Amino acid sequence: MCDRTRCAGSIVQVVELTGTIHDKLAERHLVPAEHVVDSGCASRAHIEQAQRVHGITLLGPSPTTAPSEAAPGFDKAAFGVRGPSTSR
Q: What is the pLDDT of residue 52?
A: 96
Integer angstrom CA distances of residue 22 from 10, 18, 35, 71, 83 = 20, 6, 9, 31, 48
Integer angstrom CA distances of residue 14 from 20, 31, 40, 68 = 10, 18, 8, 25
pLDDT less than 50: residues of the chain? 1-2, 5
d(CA 49, CA 2): 22
Q: What is the pLDDT of residue 1?
A: 43
CB 22 within 8 Å of CB 54:
yes
pTM beyond 0.75, yes or no:
no
